[in-house]
Amino acid sequence: MWDDKGEQYLDLYGGHAVISIGHTHPHWVQRIEEQLKKIAFYSNSIKIPLQQELATKLGQLSGKEDYQLFLCNSGAEANENALKLASFYNGRKKVVSFTKSFHGRTSLAVSVTDNKNYIAPVNETGNVIFLPFNDGQALEDCFAKNGKEISSVIIEGIQGVGGINVAEDSFLKKIRSLCDEYGAVYIADSVQCGYGRTGKFFSHDFAGVKADIYSMAKGMGNGFPVAGIIIAPHIKPRQFQLGTTFGGNHLACAAALAVLEVLESEKLLGNAVMVGKYLKEELKSIPELKNVRGRGLMIGFDVPEALKDLKKNLLLNQKIFTGEAKPNVIRLLPSLALKKRDAEDFIEAIKEEIAAMAVQEA
Ligand SMILES: Cc1ncc(COP(=O)(O)O)c(C=O)c1O
């Protein structure tokens, strides 16, 4: 990226994991431009063949070919529809969510988000049960007590806003088996950790489980607002349950198709694994940085109080964008096309900044 003075920056944050294939990728620009000249929008009262094309391609690349697709415009909206559909499906009201989760800012999505500052009184509902993340026993106890009332369990495969906390494979398996036993719906919030970011299409795939509904947004459009849920075949939405004016419009579908085409042709999931592995190994070898974690190109690490200006210094001195999670985590969510040599530059830069701050301290 370049600023208004022509200064060049390396973007390792992609505007909260949105830039999946790279800013202004030529194929993405071309796809959108060509579509714009044909038609940008018409409502869902007509059949839009691009939606079918997108559904087919998404099914192929994600390995969920038998799932159904509903398109909307943002991550919050995707989760809102997922939670609502689950409740339509089993007629129940309660939702299980986890500590440090973030699922969006609209009414139901924010009510399952573990941050009191975001929840207005009008969003408060007695229907949400928050449980400790990765605590299998607490989950079992909760189902034993409320199992027949639980409509859905919503979980990020890797918590993003919460600080890059990886859901254990055994925990996701437990969610799957308890949802099966009690007739609840497993919702995999893949808005931040999905769409190839971890090297698998959905991070929940690492656990070898299939969720009933996956929500997605962010990287899906590489900056064009598009989101969706994919729905397992046993959940059969009825007409009028879900709807949208803008969701799945022609331009959004063109952008989303361009992203999938580039993910495939440039083998970006493999690149995320390779560059992510390199970054994690190198970061782990820097003694000042603690608890380096994550999968693929979704990486977080703890920064000690003495290095609290590290993120700012990386930006001002090294022209490198990183992200944060409060209070002390640096989050890396770069484009999946990040080159190894850019990752090497970042490692050099972070070592330089840490050394400079150590000198200042002394
Ligand atoms: C895991 C997760 N779910 C949902 C959302 C909400 O997405 P949006 O901001 O597109 O509504 C976010 C956004 O950060 C997210 O990280």
Percent residues over pLDDT 70 in the chain: 99
What tens digit of pLDDT does each residue of 195-241 get? 999 999 999 999 999 999 999 999 999 999 999 999 999 999 888 89
Instruction: For a ligand 1 pocket test, name from 113, 218, 229, 329 the mutation site with the most ligand atoms within 8 angstroms of its C-beta.
Output: 218
pLDDT at 350: 98
Provide the pLDDT confidence category of residue 31 given band limits of 50, 70 and 90.
very high
Average pLDDT over residues 26-45: 97
Ligand 1, residue 105: give the atom nearest the CA.
Answer: 11
If you take atom 8 of ligand 1, which residue's CA is the nearest one? 75
CA of 225 to the centre of ligand 1 (A): 12
Q: How far apart are the first and last CA of the chain?
A: 35
| Token representation of residue 17 | 């994991």
CA of 362 to the centre of ligand 1 (A): 41
CA of 288 to the centre of ligand 1 (A): 30
Which among 297, 286, 313 is positioned nearest to 321, based on CA atoms?
313
Which among 123, 49, 73, 105 is positioned nearest to 229, based on CA atoms?
73
If you take atom 4 of ligand 1, which residue's CA is the nearest one? 103
Query: What is the sign, positive or negative, of the torsion defined by CA atoms of 219, 221, 222, 224?
Result: negative
Q: What is the largest CA-CA distance in the chain?
A: 68
Is the pLDDT confidence value at 50 over 90?
yes
Rg for the chain (alpha carbons), in Å?
21
Of all helices (H) and strands (E), which one includes residue 88?
Answer: helix 75-90
Which among 128, 130, 131, 108 is positioned nearest to 120, based on CA atoms?
108
What tens digit of pLDDT does each residue of 119-131 get? 999 999 999 999 9
Q: What is the spatial distance between Cα 29 and Cα 92, in angstroms, rounded to a whole number?
A: 44
Asked whether 192 lines ligand 1 (CB < 6 A), one says yes
Q: Write the DSSP assignment of 254-315 as a string of letters.
A: HHHHHHHHHHHHTTHHHHHHHHHHHHHHHHHT-TTSEEEEEETTEEEEE--GGGTTHHHHHH
Residues in the chain: 362
Of all helices (H) and strands (E), which one includes residue 329?
Answer: strand 329-332
If you take atom 3 of ligand 1, which residue's CA is the nearest one? 103
| 3 state SS of 318 | helix
Asked whether 67 lines ligand 1 (CB < 6 A), one says no
Is the pLDDT confidence value at 273 over 90?
yes
Provide the pLDDT confidence category of residue 159 given band limits of 50, 70 and 90.
very high
Asked whether 298 lines ligand 1 (CB < 6 A), one says no
CA of 81 to the centre of ligand 1 (A): 13
Asked whether 321 lines ligand 1 (CB < 6 A), one says no
Asked whether 189 lines ligand 1 (CB < 6 A), one says yes
Q: What is the spatial distance between Cα 88 and Cα 53, in angstroms, rounded to a whole number?
A: 27
CA of 345 to the centre of ligand 1 (A): 29
What tens digit of pLDDT does each residue of 323-343 get? 999 899 999 999 999 999 999
Asked if omega into 327 is within 30° of 0 (cis), the reply is yes
CA of 217 to the centre of ligand 1 (A): 7
pLDDT at 359: 79
Asked whether 114 lines ligand 1 (CB < 6 A), one says no
Provide the pLDDT confidence category of residue 354 given band limits of 50, 70 and 90.
very high
- Count of CB atoms situated within 10 Å of the CB of 33: 10
Asked whether 159 lines ligand 1 (CB < 6 A), one says no
Asked whether 165 lines ligand 1 (CB < 6 A), one says no
pLDDT at 170: 98
If you take atom 7 of ligand 1, which residue's CA is the nearest one? 75
Average pLDDT, the chain: 97
| Token representation of residue 345 | 């530059």
User: The whole model's pTM is what?
Assistant: 0.97
Percent residues over pLDDT 90 in the chain: 97
Asked whether 301 lines ligand 1 (CB < 6 A), one says no
Q: What is the spatial distance between Cα 264 and Cα 337, in angstroms, rounded to a whole number?
A: 12
| Token representation of residue 273 | 């694994």
Is the pLDDT confidence value at 361 over 80?
no
